[in-house]
Amino acid sequence: MQGSSEAGLGAEATPAAQGVFGRFAAWAERVNLERKLAIALLLGAVASGTVTFAAMTGHVPVAGDPWGLLLLLNLDLVLLLSLSALIARRLVILWAEHKKGLAGARLHVRLAALFSLVAVTPTIVIATFSVLLFNFGLQGWFSDRVSTAVKESFAVAQAYLDEHRQSISSDALAMAQDLNQQGVSLALNPEQFNEVLNKQVGTRALAEAVVFDSQGRVIGRAGYSLLLEFNPQIPDWAFQRAKAGEVVILTAEADNRVRALLRLDGFSNAYLYVGRLVDPRVLAHIDQTENAVKLYEELEGKRSDLQLTFALIFVVVSLMLLLAAIWVGLAFANYLSRPIGLVVDAAQKVGGGDLTARVETQGTADEVGILARAFNRMTSQLESQHGDLMEANEQLDHRSRFIEAVLGGVSAGVLGLDEHGMITLPNRSACDLLAMAEKDMRGRKLGDVVPEMADLLVEARQRPQRLSEQTIGLAQSDGTLRRLLVRIAVEVDRRKIIGFVVTFDDITELLSAQRKAAWADVARRIAHEIKNPLTPIQLSAERLKRKYLEQITTDRETFETCTDIIVRQVGDIGRMVDEFSSFARLPAPVIVPEDLGEMIEQAMFLPGGAHPEVEFAFEAPPERVVIPCDREQIGRALTNLIQNAVDAIERREPSGTEPMAPGRVTVDLIDDGTMQAIVVEDNGPGLPRAERHRLTEPYVTTRLEGTGLGLAIVKKIMEDHGGTLRLEDSPTGGARVCLVFPLSEDRPDTGVKPDTADNRGTAANKSTGTDSGMKRKIRAHGA
DSSP labels, 34-47: HHHHHHHHHHHHHH
Q: What is residue 765's three-state secondary structure?
A: helix
Return the exposure string of 708-744: e unless at least 16 CB atoms fall within 10 Å of the residue's CB, then b.
bbbbbbbbbbbebbbbebbbbebeeebbbbbbebeee
Alpha-carbon torsion (285, 286, 289, 290), positive or negative: negative
**In the predicted structure, residue 266 carries a pLDDT above the cut 50:** yes
d(CA 697, CA 708): 8
How would residue 781 be classed by pLDDT, with cut points 50, 70 and 90?
A: very low
Higher confidence at residue 650 or residue 98? 650
Q: Mention every residue, 6+ apart, whose C-beta is less than 8 A from residue 108.
A: 94, 97, 98, 333, 334, 337, 341
User: Do 175 and 193 meet the contact criterion of CB atoms below 8 Å apart?
Assistant: no
Question: What pLDDT, on a 0 to 100 scale, did the predictor assign at position 391?
Answer: 86
**In the predicted structure, residue 563 carries a pLDDT above the cut 80:** yes
Question: What pLDDT, on a 0 to 100 scale, did the predictor assign at position 46?
Answer: 72
Higher confidence at residue 237 or residue 63? 237
Helix axes 2-31, 33-56, angle to 10 degrees: 80
How would residue 582 be classed by pLDDT, with cut points 50, 70 and 90?
A: low
User: Do 286 and 50 meet the contact criterion of CB atoms below 8 Å apart?
Assistant: no
Phi, psi of 475 (to 5 degrees): -75, 130
Q: Name the strand (E) or helix (H) holding 393.
A: helix 367-408
Give residue 138's identity as a one-letter amino acid code. Answer: L
Higher confidence at residue 59 or residue 247? 247
**In the predicted structure, residue 769 carries a pLDDT above the cut 50:** no
Question: What pLDDT, on a 0 to 100 scale, did the predictor assign at position 593?
Answer: 92
d(CA 622, CA 625): 9
How would residue 629 be classed by pLDDT, with cut points 50, 70 and 90?
A: very high
How would residue 307 be classed by pLDDT, with cut points 50, 70 and 90?
A: low
- Per DSSP, 653 falls in state -
pLDDT in tens, 439-490: 888 889 988 888 888 888 888 888 888 888 888 888 777 667 788 889 999 9
CA distances from 275 to 247, 251, 259, 600, 672 (A): 13, 10, 4, 128, 115
d(CA 341, CA 589): 89
**In the predicted structure, residue 712 carries a pLDDT above the cut 90:** no
Q: Which range in 289-293, 447-451, 747-751 is most confidently predicted, on average pLDDT?
A: 447-451
**Average pLDDT, rounded, for the chain:** 75
Higher confidence at residue 20 or residue 579? 20
Helix axes 66-100, 280-351, angle to 10 degrees: 40
How would residue 20 be classed by pLDDT, with cut points 50, 70 and 90?
A: confident
How would residue 62 be classed by pLDDT, with cut points 50, 70 and 90?
A: low
Alpha-carbon torsion (198, 202, 208, 211), positive or negative: negative
Question: What pLDDT, on a 0 to 100 scale, did the predictor assign at position 759?
Answer: 40
d(CA 107, CA 294): 56
Burial zone of 29 (CB within 10 Å; 0-12 exposed, 13-18 middle, 19+ buried): exposed
Question: What pLDDT, on a 0 to 100 scale, did the predictor assign at position 681?
Answer: 94
Higher confidence at residue 160 or residue 726? 726
User: Do 192 and 186 meet the contact criterion of CB atoms below 8 Å apart?
Assistant: yes
Question: What pLDDT, on a 0 to 100 scale, did the predictor assign at position 493?
Answer: 83
d(CA 69, CA 418): 90
Q: How far apart are the first and last CA of the chain?
A: 119
Higher confidence at residue 158 or residue 75? 75
Q: What is residue 709's three-state secondary structure?
A: coil
**In the predicted structure, residue 529 carries a pLDDT above the cut 50:** yes
Average pLDDT (614-640) is 89
Phi-psi region of 202 (alpha: psi -120 to 50; beta: other; left: phi over 0): alpha
Q: pTM of the entire structure?
A: 0.38
d(CA 600, CA 620): 9
Question: What pLDDT, on a 0 to 100 scale, did the predictor assign at position 550?
Answer: 77
Question: What pLDDT, on a 0 to 100 scale, did the predictor assign at position 573?
Answer: 74
- Per DSSP, 262 falls in state E
**In the predicted structure, residue 644 carries a pLDDT above the cut 70:** yes
Return the exposure string of 51-84: e unless at least 16 CB atoms fall within 10 Å of the residue's CB, then b.
bbbebbeeebebeeeeeebeebbebbeebbebbe
d(CA 242, CA 265): 11
Q: Name the strand (E) or helix (H) holding 156.
A: helix 144-181
Beta bridge partners of 257: 277
Phi, psi of 496 (to 5 degrees): -125, 130
Question: What pLDDT, on a 0 to 100 scale, did the predictor assign at position 595?
Answer: 92
**In the predicted structure, residue 755 carries a pLDDT above the cut 60:** no
**In the predicted structure, residue 319 carries a pLDDT above the cut 80:** no
pLDDT in tens, 405-441: 776 767 788 888 898 889 988 888 888 888 888 888 8
d(CA 330, CA 338): 12
Alpha-carbon torsion (113, 114, 115, 118), positive or negative: positive
Nearest to 682 by CA among 656, 708, 714, 643: 643
Which of 102-111, 156-165, 423-432 shows the lowest mean pLDDT across its residues? 102-111
User: Do 634 and 722 meet the contact criterion of CB atoms below 8 Å apart?
Assistant: no
Higher confidence at residue 705 or residue 514? 514
Most distant pair of Cα atoms in the chain: their distance: 182
- Per DSSP, 587 falls in state P
How would residue 680 be classed by pLDDT, with cut points 50, 70 and 90?
A: very high
How many CB atoms within 10 Å of residue 619? 14
User: Do 454 and 446 meet the contact criterion of CB atoms below 8 Å apart?
Assistant: yes
User: Do 586 and 517 meet the contact criterion of CB atoms below 8 Å apart?
Assistant: no
Q: Mention every residue, 6+ apart, whose C-beta is less than 8 A from residue 63.
A: 54, 55, 56, 57, 69
**In the predicted structure, residue 347 carries a pLDDT above the cut 50:** yes
Which of 64-68, 246-250, 568-572, 639-643 shows the lowest mean pLDDT across its residues? 64-68
How would residue 750 be classed by pLDDT, with cut points 50, 70 and 90?
A: very low
d(CA 429, CA 408): 7
CA distances from 494 to 257, 366, 497, 674, 780 (A): 108, 51, 8, 58, 78
**In the predicted structure, residue 403 carries a pLDDT above the cut 50:** yes
Question: What pLDDT, on a 0 to 100 scale, did the predictor assign at position 773?
Answer: 34
Residues constituting the chain: 783
How would residue 770 be classed by pLDDT, with cut points 50, 70 and 90?
A: very low
Nearest to 677 by CA among 637, 731, 734, 732: 637
Rg (CA), the chain: 61
Q: How many CA atoms lie within 13 A of 162 on its CB side?
A: 6
Q: What is residue 260's three-state secondary structure?
A: strand
User: Do 126 and 322 meet the contact criterion of CB atoms below 8 Å apart?
Assistant: no
Return the exposure string of 444-481: e unless at least 16 CB atoms fall within 10 Å of the residue's CB, then b.
eebeebbeebeebbeebeeebeeebebebebeeeeeee
- Per DSSP, 423 falls in state E
- Of all residues in the chain, the percent with pLDDT exceeding 70 is 72
How would residue 699 be classed by pLDDT, with cut points 50, 70 and 90?
A: low
**In the predicted structure, residue 302 carries a pLDDT above the cut 80:** no
Q: Mention every residue, 6+ apart, whose C-beta is less than 8 A from residue 241.
A: 248
**In the predicted structure, residue 740 carries a pLDDT above the cut 90:** yes
Nearest to 260 by CA among 165, 158, 180: 165
d(CA 445, CA 539): 70
Helix axes 280-351, 367-408, angle to 10 degrees: 60
How many CB atoms within 10 Å of residue 283? 16
d(CA 44, CA 37): 11
Q: Which range in 154-163, 180-189, 618-627 is most confidently predicted, on average pLDDT?
A: 618-627
Helices (H), 206-279: 225-230, 236-243
How would residue 561 be classed by pLDDT, with cut points 50, 70 and 90?
A: confident
Q: What is residue 501's three-state secondary structure?
A: strand
pLDDT in tens, 145-158: 666 776 777 777 77
Burial zone of 614 (CB within 10 Å; 0-12 exposed, 13-18 middle, 19+ buried): buried
d(CA 490, CA 488): 7
